Amino acid sequence: MAAATYSANHTATDPISDWRTAGDHAARPIIEQLDTGICLAGVEEVVADPDAVAWLAAADIDAIVGGPPCQGFSMNGTRTDGDPRDTLVWPMLQLVERLAPRFVVIENVEGMAAAKGDGKAVFDAAGEHLAALGYAVQPCTVDAAHYAVPQSRRRLLLIADLGRPAGVREPFDSGDATGLLAPPDLFPVPTTPHRPITVAEALFDIDCDGYTTGPDDLGVYGSNVAGRWRAARRAGRTDPLPNHELTRHSPTVVQRYRLLLAVHAAGLDPRLIPAAAKANDPSLLAPYDTLSVAGVCQPGETVAEAAWRLRSRKRTQRVWDPDKPAPTLGTQSQDWIHPTAPRNPSPREMARLQSFPDGYLLRGKVHTGGLKRRVETPTLTQVGNAVPPLLGEAIGKCLAAAVTAACLPLAA
Question: Measured between alpha carbons, how far is 334 from 316 in angstroms, rounded to an integer?
Answer: 9
234: nearest Cα among 360, 357, 362: 357
* 5: exposed, middle or buried (Cβ count in 10 Å: 0-12, 13-18, 19+): buried
- 8 Å CB contact between 289 and 302: yes
Residue 208 a catalytic site member: no
> Residues 70, 140, 297, 398: which is the catalytic one?
70
The answer to whether 205 touches 216, Cβ cutoff 8 Å, is: yes
Please report the DSSP string for 4-16 in residue order: HHHHHHH-SS-TT
What radius of gyration do the chain's Cα atoms show? 24
Beta-bridge partners for 304: none
Looking at 198-243, which runs of residues are DSSP E strands?
A: 206-207, 210-211
Could you check whether the bond before residue 274 is cis, i.e. omega within 30 degrees of 0? no
Q: Which of 98, 1, 4, 106 is nearest to 59 (CA)?
A: 98
Coil/strand/helix, residue 379 = helix
Q: Are 311 and 273 in contact (CB under 8 A)?
A: yes
Cα distances from 247 to residues 120, 205, 212, 244, 302, in angstroms, run 44, 19, 19, 10, 28
Kindly state the DSSP code that residue 194 receives in the 8-state scheme. S
Residues labelled catalytic: 70
